[in-house]
Amino acid sequence: MTGDILTLNAGSSSLKFAIFEAEQPDARPRISGKISGIGGAPVFSAKDAAGIALTSTQLARLSPASSHEELIALLLDWVERHLGGRSLTMVGHRVVHGGRHFSQPVRLDDNVLRQLDELVPLAPLHQPHNLAAIRAVAKWLPDLPQIACFDTGFHRTQDPLATLFALPRALSDEGVIRYGFHGLSYDYIASVLPDHIGAKAEGRVIVAHLGNGASMCAMQNRRSVATSMGFTALDGLMMGRRCGALDPGVVLYLLQSKGMDATQIEALLYQQSGLLGVSGISNDMRVLEDSDAQSARDAIDLYVYRAASTLAGLVPAIGGLDALVFTAGIGENSAHVRRAICDRLQWLGIGVDEAANDANEIRISSADCAIDVLVLPTDEEAVIAAACRTLMEP
């Protein structure tokens, strides 16, 4: 098993990538980077394993009009020139929705792609970009094997009860259930948890993935038992631009009394709500934390309140709590948000060591706290690379 693995995480406005050596399972990526600002002013950035920035004259002059397909062609060309004489052996993609059928990573072919196309309505803002990236790679490098790793996959172990909506059974039977997302992130955290808390990792753990998208997962034996996201990636926590859990009556009101159509409501719920909608300032937690505006404080307070409420709501699924893990951009970096969430959960026995929390240390729980509170960086790319290695084996 030699050669390089390319991981791709294609979103609506960004394309993240990493290059791993297939024969070095525990190694960090040789190169990682992203094209951000797609659709506006795209910017390319990349660094090698030592953190040294890598540039590209071609990719430095990306056109705002470039399609995802063109960007992938440019990126593949850049990647091939940075393989240092090695060859690309596989591309692994993050794909948001695998539906009921795909619980494990899968080798991609026309038949699988057709099945993934059918799931687009369940993740309208994510799945089309994931699938477009797969098709673009197939167009430019048709002989290169590609695999898909699903954000829903990790949650296929959920308690069936936790997947049901209180809707007529016929709808559940046809797949209107709670799937859950961010599975690659949870998979990674589950894999490193024993390194930090030993046998307790098999106990009752809640992981809070707080990034632009945000969700929580209640685990036991390092498997998903329940999660805050549902049928789509819109449910659960308040997010950067997404509203999170919402009284469905609001959607009826928007339709019936405000005369909004489905496209307008989709834009409102996915892109104009959350931190951005409540603050009216930004979807970026850093900007809100630096702002003196009352609306920024309101947005952070609501974010924290909703996160603490959601966490408490997941506890019955696992019957208590042995460890809490914060991860992703906000979870890994915002001492204020972590402390504020934990403060609202003191009654549950959660206590935070202020100095450790302010320093973003791995263990931030106070000495007298029976519940371990950890800050762990997530690594979705490592999970995709590991799946590539597994599917490469003869």
The only residue of 159, 284, 298, 353 in contact with ligand ADP, by rule CB under 6 A: 284
CA–CA dist 351, 354 (Å, integer): 9
Candidates 38-46, 199-207, 210-218, 245-253; binding stretch for ligand ADP (CB under 6 A)? 210-218
Range 286-345, binding ligand ADP (CB under 6 A): 286, 289, 328-330, 333-334
Range 51-70, binding ligand ADP (CB under 6 A): none
Supply the angle between the helices 110-117 and 127-140 in degrees, to the nearest 10. Answer: 160
Question: 157 and 210 in contact (C-beta within 8 Å)?
Answer: no
- Is residue 320 packed enough to be buried (19+ CB in 10 Å), middle (13-18) or exposed (0-12)? exposed
Written as one letter, the residue type at 230 is G
**Which residue is closest to ligand ADP by CB?**
329
Number of residues that bind ligand ADP (CB under 6 A): 13
The only residue of 213, 236, 274, 351 in contact with ligand ADP, by rule CB under 6 A: 213
Candidates 112-120, 152-160, 279-287, 312-320; binding stretch for ligand ADP (CB under 6 A)? 279-287
Q: Give DSSP secondary structure letters for 280-336.
A: SS-S-HHHHHH---HHHHHHHHHHHHHHHHHHHHHHHHHTS-SEEEEEHHHHHH-HH
**What is the phi/psi pair of residue 7, to 5°?**
-105, 140
For the chain, the first-to-last Cα distance in angstroms comes to 9
Q: Does 266 bind ligand ADP (CB under 6 A)?
A: no
In the complex, the smallest distance separating the C-beta of residue 335 from ligand ADP, rounded to whole angstroms, is 8
Choose the catalytic residue: 26, 48, 151, 292: 151
Residue closer to ligand ADP by CB (options 289, 298) is 289
In the complex, the smallest distance separating the C-beta of residue 311 from ligand ADP, rounded to whole angstroms, is 18
CA–CA dist 277, 275 (Å, integer): 6
In the complex, the smallest distance separating the C-beta of residue 7 from ligand ADP, rounded to whole angstroms, is 14
Q: Does 212 bind ligand ADP (CB under 6 A)?
A: yes
Residue closer to ligand ADP by CB (options 31, 300) is 300
Q: What mask, x for binding ligand ADP by CB under 6 A, covers residues 221 to 260?
A: -------------------x--------------------
Q: Is 23 annotated as a binding residue?
A: no
Q: Does 211 bind ligand ADP (CB under 6 A)?
A: yes
In the complex, the smallest distance separating the C-beta of residue 327 from ligand ADP, rounded to whole angstroms, is 8
Residue closer to ligand ADP by CB (options 18, 285) is 285
Q: What is the CA radius of gyration of the chain?
A: 21
Q: Tell me if residue 226 falls in helix, strand or coil.
A: strand
CA–CA dist 127, 116 (Å, integer): 8
Q: Is 164 annotated as a binding residue?
A: no
Residues in the chain, total:
394
Does 48 qualify as catalytic in the annotation?
A: no
CA–CA dist 211, 159 (Å, integer): 25
Question: 163 and 194 in contact (C-beta within 8 Å)?
Answer: no
Residue closer to ligand ADP by CB (options 14, 264) is 14
Active site residue ranges: 151
Annotated binding site for substrate: 94
Where do contacts with ligand ADP occur on this chain (CB under 6 A)? 211-213, 240, 284-286, 289, 328-330, 333-334
Annotated binding site: 9, 16, 94, 209-213, 284-286, 329-333, 380
